[in-house]
Amino acid sequence: MQTSHHAAADSARRHFELPVRVYYEDTDAAGVVYYANYLRFLERARTEWLRHAGFEQQRIIDEQHLVFVVKRIEADYHASGRLDDELRVEVAVDRLGNASLVFAQRVLRAEQVLLDARVTVVCVDIRRMKPVAIPAPLREKLRESLKEPE
């Protein structure tokens, strides 16, 4: 996986992009990206999006005892990625709740959409393993992400 990333403006919402190279370990016996590995790509992109926004997961865990837990994933596979493909994984905040948020994510090869997904995550206090409100500073960044590009 490449680690460079950049923010870009979507036609409807701001989104973040993470480039991902397909390695041999990502493929199945047919030489295509194994379906479950797309979930890993989505996770990496959400993690890097959060880091890009100024919030590191380990610091949130250490200081606030909070984690973001995936509650639901809806994914539509449209085409297959292959060994050595250069993909990009997009992340956009689609909906913001009190303790949860929904990400709209896509995996693309050039302009071809390989996967569309909606991922619902919940903010959880790891000491009690209960959902809690998303902290105000992060909530503000998330709210900004919902706005139209200027």
> Hey, which residues are catalytic here?
28
Count of Cβ atoms closer than 10 Å to residue 37 Cβ = 18
Tell me how far apart the alpha carbons of residues 67 and 139 are, in angstroms, rounded to a whole number.
Answer: 14
Tell me how far apart the alpha carbons of residues 29 and 22 are, in angstroms, rounded to a whole number.
Answer: 14
What values do phi and psi take at 79, rounded to 5? -155, 165
